[in-house]
A and B are shown apart, each in its own frame.
Chain A
């Protein structure tokens, strides 16, 4: 798979011949320094962007030649996104933000509200349904985004630097949710430049200059739930 950009008539090769297979139910981290092409790769996998050449296959279906509206439908039903900058609609309540994918899925109003509330309860924000994004902390906003990603019960969740804008504790909480989702059978692809965050995954793919330079299994996988407990304990001792 190749992706090139034209910037001021100079061809920039963001991805030069990447071949990656993600297995169902896997939790994969893509790491690498900035500019290595990891985000581009994830955007292409998430159908937000198109490869210049090459194909993307999801569950055996080639999506490379789909028209934009078909891609929208695939994103809507099969993929959930969590972004570094949250990308919530401003001046719109947490519940309405979570309902958004369901509106485009054609789910009726009452059903939509019920499922959005459920999803927010799952991420521990059952008491924040009517809050606007600017009334929530970064960690809470990212949890709203996670609720939005899982409300359609997707088979894949893609997270682009999900902990990038968060303090370490909120970041660990987010990782705990992603690990929990993975434990329920959802495939997770995670982009991060932080090796420690990457070690929460089962498999780490390292990128450099648009190519995959390493592909390894994580020997000592970090369990975010355990980390949270430790943090709580440290905090307890500190007090």
Chain B
């Protein structure tokens, strides 16, 4: 009997048992689609988190007052750390002088602010820095410019608006050149920044940026919140860290902490690791569920199919006629189910990007497809193989 004839027999058997064929295919579809979709969500989230951390800059050092190295290694600003001494502008200048052209040192002042423009009011956060601030804050300009060195030195009342203040105070308008009050003082808007979206470090859109000198005067403090150092050559980051510690130790002892980007990543690596394990788990469970679905429907139909094999053998089917029919049936169901599953999983992942970041990964597609296909083919063919070896009368009598 030709392959073509076997193919026709198999297709006829599949169309004669539409419900069984559909249920078997459904097992494959669910297995494949679930794995692709869940892994896509998982790796999408993972990539987004990694991207955000890397977006902070891979060559940055964050210097915070207080000793974070002992006591369980909590995150920056975590509870339980008592800050004795804070940095001021002189400390930042001292570090800059020691590092010279190797690095850009940015003093950072943060504090609360109330913005007013006309009858509109907004609570926000000030981020004060020097003229190199845009080297460490990842911001994109919609309009305007960064404040200059002279504006920094003189403590000029100029302000750059994040996306939220622009939208709230000057809806639908270009705020550059307009005036507003910050904590009661009159400022000129020199830039409008693009939206960055929520990130791990909070809402970076609801911020205003101004010279640190201006911010200190406005907040009535001579302290710095932190010092951010950008290494010109990322390879020298460890050396720069050591030099920074050397400079600050005489005055602060151990009461300060220098975080590298890697350490920040390290803080999140356990989270990412958990995420990866979770992904693998989800993929495994989806495959298991899909596989059991396929197995069930195949095994449930064994007795009916064994009788069918008995009938076919009684009227003259040879062992390989039976086997080729069942192999073709299983392959057709598994492959078409797999293809539909891939399409569904992919479409689902695309549809979900509106709510969560998703990324379809090739290993998930391949793994899901081949695993489900293998389960489908095995459980489709194995019982048939066993039945095809029985004497016809035993197959006919099978209960």
Contact = CB atoms under 8 A, between A and B. Distances in A.
A100 B393 contact: no
Interface string B8-32: 0100100011000000000000000
A79 B70 CA distance: 90
Contacts, number: 71
Contacts of B103: none
Interface string A41-65: 0010010111000000000000000
Main secondary structure of the interface of B (DSSP, over half): helix
A49 B313 contact: no
A81 B314 contact: yes
A104 B308 contact: no
Nearest to B395: A48
B16 A104 contact: no
A106 interface: yes
A153 to B, nearest CB: 13
B320 to A, nearest CB: 8
B389 to A, nearest CB: 8
Contact of A72 (B308, B310, B316, B393): B316
Contacts of B9: 103
Interface in B315-337: 315-321
A219 interface: no
Contacts of B12: 92, 96
B5 interface: yes
A89 B9 CA distance: 12
A171 interface: no
Contacts of B314: 46, 48, 75, 81, 87
Contact of B317 (A83, A87, A104, A152): A104
A74 to B, nearest CB: 9
A104 B1 CA distance: 7
B16 A48 contact: no
Interface residues of A, number: 29
Given A50-B391, A90-B304, A103-B5, A69 B311 contact: no
Nearest to A43: B393
**A48, A75, A92 pick with most chain B CB within 10 angstroms:** A48
B392 interface: yes
A68 interface: yes
Interface string A135-167: 000000000000010001000000000000000
A146 to B, nearest CB: 13
B396 interface: yes
A64 B12 CA distance: 34
A46 B17 CA distance: 30
A131 interface: no
Interface string A76-100: 1100010100011111100010001
24 contacts: A43-B393, A48-B392, A49-B391, A49-B392, A49-B393, A69-B319, A69-B320, A72-B313, A72-B316, A72-B317, A73-B316, A75-B313, A75-B315, A75-B316, A76-B315, A81-B315, A87-B314, A89-B16, A90-B304, A96-B12, A101-B315, A103-B5, A104-B315, A104-B321
The 4 A-B pairs of least Cβ separation, nearest first, read A76-B316, A48-B393, A101-B315, A104-B316
